[in-house]
Amino acid sequence: MKNFAAHITALLAPGDVLLLEGDLGAGKTTFTQGIAAALGVKKNVNSPTFTIIKEYKGKYPLYHMDVYRLGPDSEEDLGFDEYFYGEGISIVEWAHLIERQLPDEYIKINIYHTGVDGQREIVLTTEGDRYDRISEKVMDFENISD
């Protein structure tokens, strides 16, 4: 998962938004740790379940959000726009819970358990031309096992 994250990170730029969905324990936070490592983040990266948002310094700022504790379609204003249109890369776990607050363009990464020897299935969907191009380049990456 971290190799896959590092590959995607090489294609990202400030202002990019990644939405992470999938099974509990499937690797969403592990994926984020891979992004952080590729950005040169030195701090330990863990899920911000209780704080909602954690910021990390690296090549670009990394904004890691876990909105699991927010209600479906929460209207609570936590200033997500400042992150989504900011100077860093935003990663949102359980993004469907704040669907109405999401930007129009993003790459969504769904991670699922396959039930076979700890293997994962990763499904990418995109909104926006830039993310379509990123997805095409990601599809060329064959070795995503760690």
Is residue 90 assigned to a domain?
A: yes
Is residue 144 assigned to a domain?
A: no
Domain span holding position 114: 2-138
pLDDT at residue 141, as a whole number: 61
Is residue 108 assigned to a domain?
A: yes
pLDDT for 135 beyond 80: yes
Instruction: Locate the DSSP E strands across the chain.
Output: 17-22, 53-56, 62-66, 89-93, 106-113, 120-127
What pTM did the predictor assign? 0.88
Is residue 146 assigned to a domain?
A: no
Here the CATH number for the domain that contains residue 79 is 3.40.50.300
Q: How far apart are CA 58 and CA 143, in angstroms?
A: 25
Angle between helices 2-9 and 129-138 (to 10 degrees): 130
pLDDT for 22 beyond 70: yes
Total number of domains in the chain: 1
Is residue 145 assigned to a domain?
A: no
Residue 35: what residue type?
A: I
- Residue 146: pLDDT band with limits 50, 70, 90: very low
Instruction: Summarize pLDDT for 31-87 with one digit per residue, the tens.
Output: 999 999 999 999 989 887 778 899 999 999 999 999 987 766 566 667 888 999 989
